[in-house]
Chains A and B, each alone.
Chain A
Amino acid sequence: MDYIKENIKDGVNLHLIINDNFKTDYTVIFLTVPLEKETVTQNALIPAVLKRGCSKYDNFKKITEELEMMYGAFLECGVDKEGDNLILKFFIESINDNFLPEKNNNIIKSIDMLINIVFNPILENGKFKENYINTEKQNLELLINTQKDDKDQYAYEKCINIMYKDTGFGLNKYGSIESLNKINSENLYEHYKNLINDSKIDIFISGNINKEEIINQIKDNQFIKSLKPREGKINENHYKKELKQKIENAQEKIEEMDVSQGKLVIGLDILPNDLGDFRFIAILYNAIFGDGVNSKLFQIVREKESLAYTAKSLYINKKNNIFIKCGIEISKYEKTVNLIKQLLEDMKNGNFTEEDLQVAKEYIIAGINCIEAEQDTQIIFLFGQELSNLHLTVEEYKKNIEEVKHEDIVKLANLIQLNTIYFLRNGGKNADN
């Protein structure tokens, strides 16, 4: 694997990942902006509108017909939340020409199409097409309204929202209905122009590609040429930024819906400390505590006490948080919460073995070893580093994991506080069966 980063102009970077072990090539464009209440809804709407058509292919049917002619190339446009930033992502996965019955220039076509979709939208009287905006506004409204249908994800997002309110990470990545109602084709197009001028732009191309050919194609593209240099300012996206306040008592919030299973989400904070780059300690703390089948959480809550089928925790390094997620019998809420509190105390008291630590290291390193074996994971890994501006090779990453000691984890455990306990349960008569 070869990784080449080429600065096209200020705030616009091309990343090439050259490998010959996949049958597909990826073309990805990321536009990154700070996640803010005022703009999140407009930003969420833009990928959906752009996907409808561009000057070259003026409707979605034409886009998909072209994708099909490229032997089922796959296009996806959407938004993702990464800490306090919002990422508008556009990608095409296409089959490498080596595996087609004929030469089809799939990668050249993919790049051309994706650039057209992002930078060359179809306009009507100098603004976005009215009927595209109307349908996509309606769709986004439905998307926001149906988010609560996925109860697990809803509970997780709700817990984050309780902790951060309506700022940055606490915001819904799809925005709000209230803001959506104020959007029209004119103001959205104005917003789009600002987005294209100001956002941090990263283009990733991965696959068995010809480096020179691709670099020239991108640099010579008229829409890339016409991009202005920009600061590409985003919110700092790493652990050093986030300074948590000490709190005395965790907040507890219980919500009712018609569910068979209770969804428990617990948000934890990692307090400011002098442990240096403690991400690796936190990764291992999380692995011992709640990530994977050998974790305390899985072994005790699921295997020993039979309280849950899913029981895991998740470390969000950009926000210095750990989130615990369990699907449990509704009547076992208090029992489970008390058990989890006890497990957190055990970690503080260093009640885990050297072997537990070793197992956790194996588990994490196995995950790191797989990064290069998956084309999309590799892009996400490299883009994550680009956003945090903390660059480590896979080998350095592993070395940092290897070096963490038992005592480091105990120190970190004593800096972890309960912030929020959220429980989604059913109400009324059917409870506690």
Chain B
Amino acid sequence: MQIIENNLLKEKVYIEKLTSGITLICIPKEKTTKKYIVCGIGYGSNDNHFYIPKENREVKIPDGVAHFLEHKMFEQENGVNSLDVLSSLGIDANAYTTNDHTAYLFECTDNFYKGLDELLNYIQNPYFTDQNVEKERGIIAQEINMYDDEAESKVYINAMKALYQKNPIQIDIAGSVQSINNITKEILYDTYNNFYVPANMVIVVSGEFKPQEIFKEIKSRITMNNKLEAKKIEEKEPQEITQKEIEAQMDISMPIFTFGFKVNPDEKEKVKRALAIEILLEILIGQSSELYEDLYENGEIFSDILSSFEWSNNYAHVLLQGKSNNIDTIEKKIIQKIQQLKEKGIDEKQFERAKRKIYGIYVKEFNEVSECALLFLTNYFRQINPFEYLENYKIISKEYTESILKEVFDENKMVKSVINPN
């Protein structure tokens, strides 16, 4: 068992990789009544194309399979739904699908081990029938329709279309009402059997646990032992964006925008770079920045511009999102500001403030069992441990951050996605 710790946070984390390939992570938290567990599978909506060597078979599946699979995993052969079972134990259970992983989780104060039985049972024993697949189509179609009414979802996915030429991140995680029509129980089983395997799985727990004990309990409930054979097929993503601008119309009252910068994902020093980008976003457009003050005082924006750096192993981009009647002005001013920062460098005081703010955001993530477990899960799939952020916090320099500014904020790799009122 590996133990990692951070003295500032006063947290220790225990990690064990089992011979079957499953990784177990425990973040013990005393003095909390809540217990949290999440099981992550390294299979997400982007993985729609793969090859199975032993059968010499290449598989392309419809959009939305990973998410459909997530919905259907709860169904059991005896007719019960595991979500109902967990809920009736007073356990708050859920699941979600991202571009690169799928997660099954629950949170509770009592009945943790009964919940653990149920969780590991349903993840290891799928039960798909023509009938239960058919039933789910209607529910997922309503989920897709719900997101169709949200301008924020539309402006985001359009930004992905403008940024990426090949990467499937430009496809909605849930697929479309049309694509889910082509999903069958055979496709679900095929995908499940190839990717829901120990080597592709991580389990993170947080709460009042003794690491050895909880790991033993988890191990005793693992029955699956198949190997990871399938190879994901990814088309190489060009460095260039697809298009500079993308626009759509919806029934909204004020235009909304997302600006995106395409970033090269396969870099060394992933954590240090992510930290530098987050600091830069604060300096560029954070609440204490000159640009934010200018835009706000001039009535060009009326709420924050949300900025984020999203990245995994095969994509990375910076996003700036907001609402405004003067999107072109904002775009112009952002480009000007980036240029100015590149030329004049970053102000020392501003750098220190931004750094401190980012520090606080990381510490807060360790407040609750759910947040810190998910932090470890997400970063597991990026092959890093979250303590690295705080370790890099100590050493990151203004000069390094300035070099990242020049590399990442490239106007040629900037896109603009806008939804206008119709």
A contacts, CB < 8 Å to B: 20-24, 59-61, 64-65, 67-74, 93-95, 98-101, 131, 135, 138-139, 142-143, 145-146, 148-149, 151-152, 257-261, 292-294, 299, 302-303, 306-310, 327-329, 359, 362-363, 365-366, 369-370, 372-375
Could you tell me if B32 and A307 are in contact, using CB atoms closer than 8 angstroms? no
Could you tell me if B360 and A72 are in contact, using CB atoms closer than 8 angstroms? yes
A323–B83 Cα gap in the complex (Å)?
24
Could you tell me if B142 and A309 are in contact, using CB atoms closer than 8 angstroms? yes
A372–B251 Cα gap in the complex (Å)?
41
Chain B residues within 8 Å of A131, by CB: 297
Residue of A nearest to B361 (CB): A72
Residue of B nearest to A101 (CB): B8
Across chains A and B, the number of contacting residue pairs, with CB separation under 8 Å, is 173
Could you tell me if B254 and A142 are in contact, using CB atoms closer than 8 angstroms? yes
Chain A residues within 8 Å of B31, by CB: 20-21
**Shortest Cβ distance from A240 into chain B, in angstroms?**
29
A21, A138, A257, A293: the one within 8 Å of B299 (CB): A138
**Shortest Cβ distance from B387 into chain A, in angstroms?**
13
Could you tell me if A369 and B138 are in contact, using CB atoms closer than 8 angstroms? no
Could you tell me if A99 and B149 are in contact, using CB atoms closer than 8 angstroms? no
Chain B residues within 8 Å of A373, by CB: 32-34, 109, 368-369
A100–B9 Cα gap in the complex (Å)?
8
Task: Say yes or no: A328-B142 contact (C-beta < 8 A), given A146-B254, A366-B110.
Answer: yes
23 A-B pairs with CB atoms under 8 Å apart are A61-B293, A64-B288, A68-B357, A71-B359, A94-B360, A95-B360, A139-B303, A145-B254, A258-B250, A258-B422, A260-B148, A293-B87, A303-B135, A306-B138, A309-B139, A309-B140, A309-B143, A328-B142, A329-B145, A369-B90, A370-B33, A373-B33, A373-B109
B29, B87, B356, B363: the one within 8 Å of A294 (CB): B87
Q: What 0/1 pattern do residues 13 to 45 of B give for CB contact below 8 A with A? A: 000000000000000011111100000000000
Chain A residues within 8 Å of B117, by CB: none
B contacts, CB < 8 Å to A: 8-10, 29-34, 81, 83-84, 87-92, 107-110, 135-143, 145-146, 148-149, 151, 250-254, 282, 286-288, 293, 296-297, 299, 302-303, 323, 353-354, 356-361, 363-364, 366-369, 422
Chain A residues within 8 Å of B109, by CB: 366, 369-370, 373
The 7 A-B pairs with the shortest beta carbon distances in the complex, nearest first, are A72-B360, A306-B138, A366-B90, A258-B251, A72-B357, A362-B90, A369-B109
A61–B294 Cα gap in the complex (Å)?
10
Could you tell me if B252 and A149 are in contact, using CB atoms closer than 8 angstroms? yes
Chain B residues within 8 Å of A294, by CB: 84, 87-88
**Shortest Cβ distance from B277 into chain A, in angstroms?**
16
Chain A residues within 8 Å of B10, by CB: 98-99
